[in-house]
Amino acid sequence: MDEVPYEPNAFYIFDKGYYDLARLYRIQSIGSMFIIRAKEHLKYEVVAEDELLDGDDNVLLEQTIRLTGQLTKAKYPSELRRIVYYAPELKRTFTFLTNDFTIEAKDIAMLYK
């Protein structure tokens, strides 16, 4: 992640292996967006929430969250968008984190896919 020349107004999509909140916050600070899969034991509080179980886009949940872990909130002090998506072809759910609050949740899942 340190070798990528990040540019403002770009969109970066990372695999879960590149989960580094300080580096992700640096991406946000230059005005770019990112998508990454969430870690399983992430500590956070929900600021806003929409349950979307009735849609046909397979988005189960959309939340605005704030990290609460001592180290995580220091590394990433801004709010994040948490999206839970069901992939029917794999019969499993994926949880994504992004700093983009403008595009639809289903599009976040499709970008990652």
Residue 50: per-residue pLDDT: 80
Residue 4: per-residue pLDDT: 78
Residue 92: per-residue pLDDT: 95
pTM across the whole model: 0.90
Name all contacts of 23-32 with Cβ < 8 Å and 24+ positions apart. 24/76, 24/99, 25/75, 25/76, 25/77, 25/78, 27/99, 28/78, 28/99, 30/6, 32/6, 32/7, 32/8
Residue 88: per-residue pLDDT: 92
Residue 3: per-residue pLDDT: 77
Residue 54: per-residue pLDDT: 66
Per-residue confidence of the chain (113 residues) as pLDDT tens digits?
Answer: 677 789 999 999 998 888 899 999 999 999 999 999 999 899 999 999 887 666 788 999 999 999 999 999 999 999 999 999 999 999 999 999 999 999 999 999 999 98
